[in-house]
Structure 1
């Protein structure tokens, strides 16, 4: 029995490193939240989600929902930023001609949905304030769905989606800071930048950092408090706190020194990914996805909801796919040769999944219009469901195509590793 317990934990951790397992847990958490919020026990769900705790003196007296969306999700964003750093240094994004394409696609995929929303709500008064709602792709859900429905798609498609989603999440956070934040505190932001510089210095593994590595003090006793303080300062500044996770992930060192078996980047990802997949993402989904569908029929007569749905479902495809196609025609940017344009079309549909940032912008847009806010949130979920169904109809067919192709000639086409 001791042996079973000893081997069980590594097996569970290894399973949680799989994008497919993480995807099922995340989607399952979202379904649980929707059912729970719209059940007779919806009051219990709301009481748990709005329960507030934390040190008020540090501006961290937050409801459970905010802890999940701002703090736990920062762990996931750290892993994503770390993974992107590896791609920029060692992988697909080393080639500027290929790195340019998802970045331009992300910018177009932000602009077109916002424009569509603005056109729909141009003469609708306060509804126009929601133009930023359909801008961002929810990276956690999009990557999870891709893992579930596209297990045999080329890895380059996942990299494209990661890069695109990070860029448009950062863009959406900038939009929030400029257009939706009344008070941006520069002192905490400056403190966060200073500590990020310290974090980056420690990653070099030279001088004091090397002495730390050689000491008997476990590294996590330094890095965990430092990371938390950076996160807290970013949160106090008024900027969406998940940006702290991305920044620290991008600062990770991806090249091991001579006395290291693997780099800090790969080691940290190996340790944190099970916690992200098994705890952070499912808890975030349960605490964030519980939108109550009261008056669903009237939602489709509300231009705010219509603008959100059209922006996410139509605008993302037009912006990402159209922007990518035009970019390859007028610049030296190129699509990865392992991908086809139909793959990118399916991924563009998947990018219509808007959740965390979209719901946040909705709350900031309509603080004094509860009915419009409810309709806009419902519009985000309806659009995300439509985007998932449309993307699945394309990407599942493409995944089957790549599976057959790999079976016929295993060495011809790399396939997406489940782990």
Structure 2
């Protein structure tokens, strides 16, 4: 029997469509948050963010903003975990030769922005953890911009950006797990290990009953929360433990089925609601001035706008020059530079890291959030302009080639 393709083109196209639509919804939610937070009704916005719900006996009396961060983003990170597992096992990161370029690009796109942010903000309160803010790339926005402005580029551009974003997500997950775990509780950590082992065993034994998995997933989330690790890590753990290879009697593997079901909810609801609670920052003259004066905010801006393209493009150049790796098929260096610029679209995970790293410094947090929004918008516009130019140049070159051939 011929083996079914691990990642059909139609599946990849579906992924891009979902992320593109999700990017539009995310943009709308961000606009609503900004308008609401800067309107005469801003007290209602602050009251909504600060409203406390949940049982205090379980230490779950959290604000709605915290529920959006810890709860809804756990679904987003579960989808990230599924995609990461699939790419590592059967996708773009499954072999050393395939993984080398996007992983190197992701590493460069994390290290250089972090170093620049730390250098610019050196000595400022909060920079000891806020240096991690510009390490992230928002896959929804980045793929959305590429789909709109660079649709005529070869599909290898999208594959490279997806592989880069997946590797970048893994790095961001590690940063969150290492930097933002506090007072690890050994007993609850043991409960996390047991819950994850049970999930792995159910997957290995081919159990498919949702009524087993849903309570187990909720308990895992709760145990991670109580263990002192950021609750979103529970989603990553379960995603990485989900099977990605289909059995002979299965049409799709569990990871692919879950992606089909959860990705629209993640991209269309969970992430936009998080943005609604997180992106409402002042954008008046004083707030905008603080972005360019406050060292942490300025470091975030420089990290995203300058550090990302230098780190991603520079790493690609070094790896291609020093190893057998080659540029993605059909792309030249200018195409790769345009795609690298999209790495500066931080947004979702950058906002999350900002919330975690600057929770005790509200004024610095507000200016850092404004810096994330401005830098992400600027990276989107600059990246889109570079992509449009590349598409036009390619069209003109192809027209000249056709004329010469005739």
Deviation track 1:229-267 (CA, whole Å, cap 9, x = no partner) reads 222222333333333223322332222223222222222
RMSD: 3.1
In structure 2, relative to structure 1, the CA distance for the partners of 1:138 and 1:23 (3 Å cut) is closer
Q: 1:355-370 alignment to 2 at 5 Å?
A: 355-370=347-362
In structure 2, relative to structure 1, the CA distance for the partners of 1:234 and 1:156 (3 Å cut) is farther
In structure 2, relative to structure 1, the CA distance for the partners of 1:140 and 1:73 (3 Å cut) is farther
| TM-score normalised by the chain length of structure 1 | 0.81
Whether the 8 Å CA contact 1:173–1:239 is kept in 2: the answer is: no
Whether the 8 Å CA contact 1:26–1:144 is kept in 2: the answer is: no
State the partner residue of 1:164: 164
In structure 2, relative to structure 1, the CA distance for the partners of 1:300 and 1:334 (3 Å cut) is same
1:379 aligns with 2:371: yes
How far apart are 1:158 and its partner, in Å?
Answer: 3.4
Aligned to 1:94, what secondary structure does the other structure show?
coil
Q: Comparing 386-395 with 372-381, which one deviates more in the overlay?
A: 372-381
Q: 1:10-409 alignment to 2 at 5 Å?
A: 18-124=18-124, 127=127, 130-204=130-204, 206=205, 209=206, 212-213=207-208, 219-294=209-284, 295=286, 296-398=288-390
Q: Structure 2 unaligned runs (5+)?
A: 1-13, 400-406
How far apart are 1:110 and its partner, in Å?
Answer: 1.4
2:36 & 2:136 partners in 1: Cα distance?
Answer: 26
Aligned to 2:344, what secondary structure does the other structure show?
coil
Deviation track 1:151-198 (CA, whole Å, cap 9, x = no partner) reads 444444334334433433443443344445442334333322332232
2:398 & 2:86 partners in 1: Cα distance?
Answer: 26
1:125 & 1:62 partners in 2: Cα distance?
Answer: 26
Whether the 8 Å CA contact 1:15–1:21 is kept in 2: the answer is: no
Aligned to 1:239, what secondary structure does the other structure show?
coil
In structure 2, relative to structure 1, the CA distance for the partners of 1:278 and 1:390 (3 Å cut) is same
1:157 & 1:334 partners in 2: Cα distance?
Answer: 13
| TM-score normalised by the chain length of structure 2 | 0.83
2:195 & 2:128 partners in 1: Cα distance?
Answer: 38
Aligned to 2:229, what secondary structure does the other structure show?
coil
Whether the 8 Å CA contact 2:156–2:328 is kept in 1: the answer is: yes
2:92 & 2:127 partners in 1: Cα distance?
Answer: 41
Whether the 8 Å CA contact 2:105–2:312 is kept in 1: the answer is: yes
2:180 & 2:87 partners in 1: Cα distance?
Answer: 32
Q: Comparing 384-393 with 58-67, which one deviates more in the overlay?
A: 58-67
2:192 & 2:263 partners in 1: Cα distance?
Answer: 24
